[in-house]
A and B are shown apart, each in its own frame.
Chain A
Amino acid sequence: MRLSVLLGAQAGFFVLLAIVWESISRLELVDPRLLPSFLTVLGVLGDLLTQRDFLMDLGITGLEVGVAFIIAAPLGVSIGFLLGEKLFLGQILSPMFHFMLSVPQSIFLPIFMLLLGIGFLEKVVFGVTHAIFVIIVTTTAAVRSVPRDYVTVARTFGATPRQIYLRVYLPAMLPVVMTGLRLGMIFNIIGVLLAEMDASRAGIGRRLFSWGEGFQLDLLLAGILLVSALTIIINEVMRYCEHRAARGHVA
């Protein structure tokens, strides 16, 4: 009952925002060429979703994001695990990865373009470098957060090193690793879109950029709405998995 009231209120807020947006545009409080009405933008979005080459652009971006994640996730988790588990290695390399996390990756984009040219590979690599550091750093933290007691208890009950990794470390780390993967995915999408907007022949980022340059605000806003909705969905799905993995873990 209370949940439904809350959800209703939240939905109401969004409807209100849409109405305000619609009214501002309709009443020409802002020039409708700069702020097309909400319903106009929705109509444009509907059209876009029927256009083959737009869907191709969307697909390319999706593929770049997907491939980047498939590379970054296992690589980042493995490196992070090694750094957390091998104390010496971790002490040497952890600070470097930690520092890399604070450096804005965008400053390296020109170098990637020089090295890899402009295209699919460059976008994927840029996505990977965006995602991987946060995955590494959170996985390292996850390994170190596994209580020694769990390992001790497993050992007294005769667990082999392999069983300790699979039956103790892995489940104990899982919630934190999942958080790292989710953050990695957000960073990954930022990276790919940034690379596309900067210089690209395809992809949704390029579309957004050229619509902006061409003052096509109805298209631009439609694109923004779509990308926002898609990223929110990806994030929420991953958060749901994270939540499932954290079942029973004391926060």
Chain B
Amino acid sequence: MSSEVIRVENLSKMYSTREGDFHALDKLSFAIEEGGFVSIVGPSGCGKSTLLQLLTGLLEPTSGQVLIDGIEVRKPLPEKTGVMFQDATLLPWLTAEENVAFPLSLCGKDKKESQLRARDLLKLVGLGDFINHRPAELSGGMRQRVAIARGLVRDPRILLMDEPFAALDEQTRFKMGEELLWIWQETRKTILFITHGLTEAIYLSDTVLVMGTKPGRIIEVIPVDLPRPRTFEMIGSEFFGKARNRIWTLIQEETEA
């Protein structure tokens, strides 16, 4: 029996504006199995971020529901989902270690224990020598690594990532992708990854969900049948090119429509 950790059922979100109701998301349904790596791509304004806010429990759906581990999400569930944003959103007055331990301190974990856990995770993301640095003293890539460690600190089964590497340069972005795959393999998390980068989406994922716009909905599910571990050479393969072209065409059609 396969176990679904994320299940989205007929999820809709409507906003009332002066021009009338605006359908941000219309009856989205999909499921992600435990240990899966799923990416969501789509044109700007297709409701990707709204979807992420619904998954994290920051927003309430107009209709439909999000189930995480079979539980309906109505508020943030930090013990089940770790979240990462486009911006590292570290708290600038805390050190790297304190930032990673921040979610633990919110739920009243023992300070010494939290410290050790934060240090272990910083080592995992390759920042063992930077535990006492503040965000301002770290590079963009390093800050995102701290954010990954913070997302993992409560040992959630799921990582929700909203364009986490979009603000990084191409080289750093590729390296971060590699590291994320490695961490994913090590920790066996389920990852939902929202991105603008088609290459990034295909390279990292088992499945790519393509979203259409007005209203936001899923228009195609593209399985990525490439073996793991993924290698740089695969990006040049025929399958990769076809998948990329397919997604590109879908998104173009959506933006022109």
Task: Give the interface of A toward B (CB within 8 A).
Answer: 149-150, 152-160, 163, 167-168, 171-172, 174, 247-250
Docked-complex contact A250 and B136, CB < 8 angstroms: yes
A-B residue pairs in contact (CB < 8 Å), sample of 20: A150-B89, A152-B85, A153-B83, A153-B85, A154-B102, A156-B56, A156-B57, A156-B76, A156-B78, A157-B83, A157-B103, A158-B78, A159-B106, A167-B102, A167-B106, A171-B91, A172-B91, A174-B93, A248-B92, A250-B136
Docked-complex contact A156 and B106, CB < 8 angstroms: no
Interface of A: prevailing SS:
helix
Contacts of B94 in A (CB 8 A): 248
Bound Cα distance from A249 to B137, whole angstroms? 11
Q: Given A149-B85, A155-B58, answer yes or no on A249-B92 (Cβ-Cβ < 8 Å).
A: yes
B74 within 8 A of A: no
Q: Given A152-B58, A156-B83, A157-B78, answer yes or no on A249-B93 (Cβ-Cβ < 8 Å).
A: yes
Within 8 A of A (CB), among B61-107: 76-79, 81, 83, 85, 87, 89, 91-94, 102-103, 105-107
Contacts of A154 in B (CB 8 A): 102, 106
Which of A158, A167, A171 contacts B76, CB < 8 Å?
A158
Bound Cα distance from A163 to B106, whole angstroms? 7
Q: Given A158-B106, A168-B91, answer yes or no on A248-B78 (Cβ-Cβ < 8 Å).
A: no
Most buried by B among A152, A156, A163, A249: A156
Q: A86 to nearest B CB, angstroms?
A: 21
Interface size grouping (class) on chain B:
20 to 34
Bound Cα distance from A172 to B91, whole angstroms? 8
Contacts of B214 in A (CB 8 A): none
Bound Cα distance from A155 to B102, whole angstroms? 12
Contacts of A174 in B (CB 8 A): 93
B135 within 8 A of A: yes
Bound Cα distance from A250 to B87, whole angstroms? 15
Q: B133 to nearest A CB, angstroms?
A: 10
Task: Give the interface of B toward A (CB within 8 A).
Answer: 56-58, 76-79, 81, 83, 85, 87, 89, 91-94, 102-103, 105-107, 134-136, 150, 154
Given contacts A149-B85, A150-B89, A171-B93, list 11 more A-B pairs with CB under 8 A: A149-B87, A152-B85, A153-B89, A156-B58, A157-B78, A157-B103, A158-B78, A158-B107, A247-B134, A248-B134, A250-B136
Q: B31 to nearest A CB, angstroms?
A: 22
**Nearest 5 A-B pairs (CB), nearest first?**
A158-B78, A157-B103, A248-B134, A156-B83, A153-B89
Q: A208 to nearest B CB, angstroms?
A: 42
Chain B: which residue is nearest A245 at the CB level?
B93
Q: Given A149-B85, A154-B106, A248-B136, answer yes or no on A172-B93 (Cβ-Cβ < 8 Å).
A: yes
Bound Cα distance from A109 to B77, whole angstroms? 57
Chain A: which residue is nearest B95 at the CB level?
A248
Bound Cα distance from A171 to B85, whole angstroms? 21
Most buried by B among A150, A154, A157: A157
Bound Cα distance from A159 to B81, whole angstroms? 14
Contacts of B87 in A (CB 8 A): 149
Bound Cα distance from A174 to B107, whole angstroms? 24
Q: Given A158-B76, A250-B136, answer yes or no on A152-B89 (Cβ-Cβ < 8 Å).
A: yes
Which of A149, A160, A247 contacts B93, CB < 8 Å?
A247
Q: Given A248-B135, A248-B136, A250-B136, answer yes or no on A157-B102 (Cβ-Cβ < 8 Å).
A: yes
Q: B30 to nearest A CB, angstroms?
A: 21
Most buried by A among B91, B94, B135, B136: B91
Q: B209 to nearest A CB, angstroms?
A: 21
Bound Cα distance from A172 to B89, whole angstroms? 13
Q: B114 to nearest A CB, angstroms?
A: 13
Bound Cα distance from A172 to B107, whole angstroms? 20
Bound Cα distance from A149 to B162, whole angstroms? 13
Bound Cα distance from A163 to B136, whole angstroms? 24
Contacts of B105 in A (CB 8 A): 167
